[in-house]
Amino acid sequence: MGIKVNMENIKTKLYNLHQKHGAKFVPFAGYEMPIQYPEGIVEEHKYTRSDAGLFDVSHMGQLFIKGGEELTADLEKIFPLDLKNISLNQSKYSFLMNEEAFIHDDLIITKVEGGYNIILNAACKNEDYQIIAKLLNNKYEMVLNSDLSLIAIQGPKAANILKEVIAGPDNLNFMNGDWFNYSDDKVYITRSGYTGEDGFEISIGNNKVEDLVKNLILKGAKLIGLGARDTLRLEAGLCLYGHDIDLETTPIEANLKWAISKKRLENGGFRGFDKIDSQIKSGTKKLRVGIAPEERIIAREKTKVFNENNEVIGEITSGTFGPSIQKPITLGYVQSEYAKLDTKILLEVRGKKYPAKICKLPFYKKSYVKGAN
Measured over the CA atoms of residue 185, residue 187, residue 30 and residue 54, the dihedral's sign is positive
Q: Confirm if 95 and 250 have CB atoms less than 8 A apart.
A: no
258: left (phi over 0), alpha (psi -120 to 50) or beta: alpha
Q: Confirm if 172 and 190 have CB atoms less than 8 A apart.
A: yes
Residue 371: predicted pLDDT: 53
Count the Cβ atoms, other than its own, within 10 Å of residue 203.
22
- Give the closest residue to 133 by CA, choosing from 202, 63, 39: 63
The SS3 call for residue 3 is coil
Residue 370: predicted pLDDT: 67
Residue 367: predicted pLDDT: 84
Residue 2: predicted pLDDT: 33
Return the bridge partners of 242, or none.
none
User: What are 185-234's pLDDT values in tens digits?
Assistant: 999 999 999 999 999 999 999 999 999 999 999 999 999 999 999 999 99
Residue 6: predicted pLDDT: 42
Q: What is the pTM of this model?
A: 0.95
**What is d(CA 339, CA 320) in angstroms, rounded to the nearest whole number?**
20
**What is d(CA 57, CA 179) in angstroms, rounded to the nearest whole number?**
19
Q: Confirm if 239 and 256 have CB atoms less than 8 A apart.
A: yes
Residue 366: predicted pLDDT: 81
Domains of the chain: 15-61+146-235 (3.30.1360.120), 257-359 (2.40.30.110)
Which residues are within 8 A (CB) of 233 and not within 5 positions of it... i.e. 6 or more apart?
A: 194, 195, 196, 240
Residue 373: predicted pLDDT: 39
Q: Give pLDDT < 50 ranges for the chain.
A: 1-7, 372-373
| Cis status of the peptide bond prior to 80, with omega within 30 of 0 | no
Which residues are within 8 A (CB) of 62 and not within 5 positions of it... i.e. 6 or more apart?
A: 117, 118, 119, 120, 144, 145, 148, 150, 203
User: What are 92-141's pLDDT values in tens digits?
Assistant: 999 999 999 999 999 999 999 999 999 999 999 999 999 999 999 999 99
Count the Cβ atoms, other than its own, within 10 Å of residue 206.
15
Alpha helices in 96-208 (DSSP H): 125-135, 158-163
